[in-house]
Amino acid sequence: MPDHDPVGHHLNVPIEPFSDFDPFCGEPPPDDLVGRLLVATPAVDDPNFWRRVILLLDHGVHGSLGVALDRPGGVDVDQLLPQWHALATAPAELFTGGPVARNSLIGLVRLASRADAAEDAPGCPTGWRTLVDDERPVGTVDLGADPGPFAAAIVGARLFSGYAGWESGQLEDEIEEGSWYVVRAEARDPISADPEGLWRRVLRRQGGALALVSGFPTDPTAN
């Protein structure tokens, strides 16, 4: 993962329609947002974040960092990191993680079992850090390491170019203003075989009002 150097961006979201906005969907705000999903609300029209689902990798007093899970980049993994190609979940492309530091590469993998995530486990990847705890957990890895020794423990991988970054307090402001829903991640989300349908699926599984939001038209002005 690159050094934490988030570059701020400000989303132009009208605050008034979100006076009763509940970004945490009825749950208490978590103490730590790492491993949570940021799901763009329909009010977000910035092309970098429109209908994006972002997995937060870092969040603290110095800012926040995450990667968009639903933006295939069109560049085959084999062209840049051929040693990871066989492990990459289809589409085996380098995803666009965000608008910041596009020359930085970030890797997420899902392991075959929770036991493989233990530091002393032979299947634990180099640089492993758990993000989504599960029977088959998801975490970050060191893409510079040879994946061969722990390849048998990996059931899916996804590589990202760039990331989304927020300065200290900026993400909190965007959440409060109605830019993001904050929901729990499932371990299948980061390596979904249908990443471009992730926005609707994540909202739909929340039920209630968010399930209705999942049907929000792409162009609300169209008849």
Q: Does any domain span residue 7?
A: no
Q: Does any domain span residue 11?
A: no
Region 201-206: mean pLDDT is 94
**CATH number of the CATH domain containing 205:** 3.40.1740.10
* Token output for 157: 């991988």
Least trusted range by pLDDT, from 14-23, 79-88, 177-186, 200-209: 14-23
What pLDDT score does 21 carry? 72
Q: Write the CB contacts of 131 (distance below 8 Å, at least 6 apart in sequence).
A: 34, 35, 55, 57, 108, 137, 138, 139, 140, 185, 190
Q: How many domains does the chain have?
A: 1
Q: Does any domain span residue 5?
A: no
What pLDDT score does 2 carry? 47
Q: What's the distance, CA 59 to chain centroid?
A: 13
* Whether the predicted pLDDT of 5 surpasses 80: no
- Look up the pTM and report it: 0.88
Q: Does any domain span residue 160?
A: yes
Give pLDDT tens digits for 121-146: 999 999 999 999 999 999 999 999 99
Residue 138, domain extent: 16-213
Give the span between the Cα atoms of 57 and 111, in whole angstroms. 17
